Chain A
Amino acid sequence: MIEVAEVQKEFKEAEEDNDVVVASYLIAEVGSANTVATLYELFNGSFQLVARGSSLTTAGSPWQDSVHGLHAAIQQVSDLSRRTLINNSNVLIRPVRPDGSGFDYFGTIISAAPPMRTVVIGLMDEVSIASARRALNTIYAQEVDCFSLADTRSKHEQLEALVNLKPDLIFISGGTSGGASRQLMSLVETAAMGIKLIDADHRPLVIFAGNPELRSEVERSIGDETDIYLIDNVRPDLENEHIDQAIGILGDLYVTSQSGKLPSGEFLIQRNDLPVLPVVHAFGALCEFVAALNKGRVLGVDIGRKSLSLIFAENDYVNLDVSSDLGLGEPNSKLSEDAQIMDIAAWAGIPQNKGAVEDHIANKTVWPAVVPLTLEEMHIEQAIVWANLSYAVERAHKRWNWSNEMALSPIRTLVLRGAALVNATNWKRLMLLLLDSIQPVGIFNVIVDRPGILPSLGLLAAYNPHLVVQLYQSISKDKLGWVIAPISSAQGGQLVLKISILREDQEPQNIEILQGDFKVLPIRAKQRVKITIAPTPDTDVGAGPGKRRSITLSGGPIGIVIDARGRPLTKNADPKSRQRHIRKWLKQVES
């Protein structure tokens, strides 16, 4: 349980001591498809979501001005809250006026800017370049080329590549602190020549995160041509990796440099009272906050039009993985292999209609903001989410260097956001697809960001944790339900769990779960039940093999899902058998 009472007590005491600045916040999230504005304010002693407005993001045609969408969303908030937030000259009214108009603080989070097209330079693929990539994977970025010792191209071929690619960023890593320098400097020299040959208006920014002894030489070589950021060596030696500073700088550059490339993007970042953050960093901050609050691991999933973000947060650490080549809009053109399409069609429940899936994917690339209006559209969209997530999760585990053991760490909370996930109607079906693609383990609750505010709470977490606790608590009350996903070495069909469910004023319900089962137990949203889970000695539900767990919980639209299909899920290589299994599971959840 979230320890809200303690935080609220602390808040009340601080309020009595006048330590808390009572404030209202207007937070804008400028996404690639939609722009959302949310107003929060203290009311009767607790922070509340006053109103939320949304508009299409207007960076593209026909508007070509990001601010129109922002103002439309703010105007909606204004109308819904009956409170003027923006004056006739389109100036935000700050702070709150005596007549009640205005608000106190304005903040923005952004993911609408294009991903940073990056050339990575380093020495060894498995060492410094791997670290550079781990840093880049925490932001909306796209690696367009890599110069390394393994690169067999000549110097002038590399130069041509750099000049013709015109990247937004060159990320240089390599060289252990105090180590060899000649080979890295040769690559830096090529980069310097390339930068000089690119028009001054289009020159890439440079991050140097390599051997610190080369800083002055690198600066001398490149510093006159473009802005260079000299930061901690991301890989000072083979065993250690220091990417935190790189992550921070990459976030700043995405906001300041890439957002400036949106039409009127400079206005989005100029008028803020709080630092502007990339959405993934704000969502990461929220997941980390929740992990600390709940004292349990959090897995966050955010699928948008142009990217898919995965977040794995513990009390004091967070892993981010952004896939700018996935998502439900333009990047979907990557889902084109026959086997992939056939699997999507099977998950959508239309195994014979590959054409419908291909048409849907193509239509999303030209109409990225549209939401499903029919059941068939909804099922196809969810199946595309499944394909995206399956790919992203497998890749994230590799990028995070996770061992099999780490990939099977139990989580406490699964947080979902993105229109395709929050606008679902058939939650059981969606849960099956999510569990199949993400393959989480343990006993965890599933939170859906239905109001679309979690990243904005992440932005506020550092400034007003009381607000975040209170609002997160209200969202988490509206959870989808719970999942029990054990790991077991049992053979298919063998007993793995004995579950006892105790409802108020009722006899306990005892259920036996066999390896391979996928069951949904209905528990209503406000119904509280005590569940005791007794795993067999070869089965683990998060406390260790054979260790019993008891929890008291309330339900939700999905009740309790028991996924005993095993981890990792083995995918049948034969497409027909695989699709037969999919049909079987879909039938189980629909029944």
Chain B
Amino acid sequence: MDILPQTTLARISTDIRVTRLLPQRGEVNIQNGQEVSPTQIIARSYQSAQFHILEANRLYGIEPAELENLLLVDVGTPLEEGTPLIRKPGRSDKQKVISSPVAGVLAEVFDGNLIIQRPQKLFELRAMVHGKVSRIIPRMGAELQLIGSIVQAIWDSGRESHGRLFISTDSNDSELTLENIRTEMGRSIVVAGKLSANELLEVLENYQARGLIIGSIPAALIPKAREVVFPIFVTDGFGEQSMSAPLFEVLKQSSGKEASLLRAPRENGSQRSEIIIPTPDSQYVKSGNSGWDLLKNGDYIRVVMSRHNLLGKVITVHPEARRTISGGWMPGADIELNSGEVVFVPYTNIDVIN
């Protein structure tokens, strides 16, 4: 019987595909098969549009049908302030040239109006990983391919970066404290079990940390986390959760290696943020980073709870509804927790660590 569980990837040496997309259509300047580096700009687009409308019909009485014949420039032409745009008809001594009131590009002629798009801030999309271009997505970006390790996070603060991984705590359940902070963390991506002190974020900022990967932070720290200049990636939840041991292990094994923190696309809230550590020389082990499967006996999972996640293994899958601890009836599975206790967990709270 079929139960599709949530899945979090925590894999060493696997085939990884990374999709890098512009926020809106623009220009992609790489080619299929090309090698790219993290800082390389692979596509550009304008961040937001600003317009000026020249109402030729209302201001100068030019009929919409006439306007195109009177234009002195084509749509798409870059304009300076004062560039002649329209020659208003009349006897030669009464002819009038109407000039562009602003700099920009003539974007459109519409119903007696000239729409001038003004110069805008450019958005530059960087590759963020070492990899090879496996597919170009026209006008939007590209898919990059690499061999490496991957850990998925459930929340990010909205920024991206890359740098060397620095494991700052001995174990997945240790808290990052002021005593753990060392100068070597400067310009590194810091990994720790959990964090609760607001001021540590400022300390890490002073050390010019490149990022922070953490099991959990209290929700009260979210506004501060969004403010600091380095990205924060949370792997397990908000509260006092430790980082799930398998996720910590993958990161620990990659200590000192270059990693990339890739945020989840904003337009798809259900997509996970990813921590990618390229290991080009490693042996290929497992394929695909979109791997998912039906829930089965033996799966290693985390039981997702509000404040403390638990780890365990699937013993029996129950597709027929059973009574949950809280009283509802749902399909799910019997889970043997790391403590040895066996509990029934509804499918909604099962996250397979793959």
Contact = CB atoms under 8 A, between A and B. Distances in A.
A156 B51 contact: yes
B167 to A, nearest CB: 24
Interface residues of A, number: 64
B347 A362 contact: no
Contacts of B5: 56
A79 B1 CA distance: 7
B53 A193 contact: yes
Contacts of B48: 160, 164
A420 to B, nearest CB: 10
A562 to B, nearest CB: 25
Contact of A63 (B4, B272, B327, B349): B4
Interface stretch (B104-112, B187-195, B278-286): B104-112
Nearest to A155: B53
Interface in A159-176: 159-160, 163-164, 166
Mostly helix, strand, loop or mixed at chain A's interface? helix
6 contacts: A62-B9, A69-B4, A356-B307, A359-B219, A359-B239, A371-B328
A360 B326 CA distance: 16
Contacts of B115: 159, 193, 197
Interface stretch (B10-18, B33-41, B129-137, B263-271): B263-271
B337 interface: no
A360 B306 contact: yes
Interface in B160-207: none
Nearest to A329: B269
B292 A355 contact: no
- The 8 closest A-B CB pairs, nearest first, are A60-B270, A423-B328, A425-B327, A362-B219, A362-B238, A359-B239, A358-B219, A72-B2
Interface in A342-367: 355-356, 358-363, 366-367
B6 A56 contact: yes
A366 B239 CA distance: 13
Interface stretch (A205-213, A372-380, A395-403, A504-512): A372-380
A363 B111 CA distance: 51
B113 interface: yes
A359 B219 CA distance: 5
A62 B328 contact: no
A171 to B, nearest CB: 21
Contact of A371 (B49, B222, B326): B326
A373 B349 contact: yes
Contacts, number: 184
Given A359-B307, A367-B237, A425-B326, A34 B269 contact: no
Interface stretch (B66-74, B89-97, B317-325): B317-325
Given A62-B291, A197-B49, A359-B307, A55 B6 contact: no
B290 A60 contact: no
B268 A60 contact: yes
B87 interface: no
Contacts of A79: 1, 319
A70 B282 CA distance: 38
B307 A373 contact: no
B296 to A, nearest CB: 13
B4 to A, nearest CB: 5
B326 A373 contact: yes
B154 A367 contact: yes
B219 A61 contact: no
A68 B117 CA distance: 44
Interface string A138-157: 00000000000000000110
Given A76-B319, A193-B113, A359-B239, 20 more contacts: A55-B347, A60-B268, A62-B290, A156-B50, A164-B48, A197-B51, A197-B107, A199-B25, A361-B219, A366-B154, A366-B238, A367-B237, A367-B304, A369-B6, A370-B306, A371-B330, A371-B348, A372-B326, A373-B345, A425-B327
Most buried by B among A60, A155, A156: A156
Interface string A306-348: 0000000000000000000000001000000000000000000
A515 interface: no
Contacts of A374: 305-306, 325-326
A221 interface: yes
Given A359-B219, A374-B325, A56 B52 contact: no
Given A61-B270, A330-B269, A370 B304 contact: yes
B218 interface: yes
Contacts of A376: 306
B331 A370 contact: no
Interface string A503-524: 0000000000000000000000
Contacts of B264: 61
B155 interface: yes
Contacts of A370: 304-306, 348-349
A431 interface: no
A422 interface: yes
Interface string B322-343: 0011111111000000000000
B208 interface: no
Contacts of B24: 166
A75 interface: yes
A285 interface: no
A29 to B, nearest CB: 15
A378 B1 CA distance: 29
A196 interface: yes
A423 B55 CA distance: 60
Interface string A182-203: 0000000100110011010000
A148 B61 CA distance: 26
A360 B238 CA distance: 8
B60 to A, nearest CB: 16
B328 A156 contact: no
Nearest to A356: B307
Nearest to B223: A336
A71 B2 contact: yes
B2 A423 contact: no
Given A62-B291, A363-B238, A375 B326 contact: yes
Contacts of B277: none
Contacts of A111: none
Contacts of B9: 62
Contacts of B349: 370-371, 373
Contacts of A64: 290
A268 interface: no
B326 A378 contact: yes
Contacts of A72: 2-4, 294
A196 B294 CA distance: 46
Contacts of B327: 378, 423-425
A119 B113 CA distance: 22
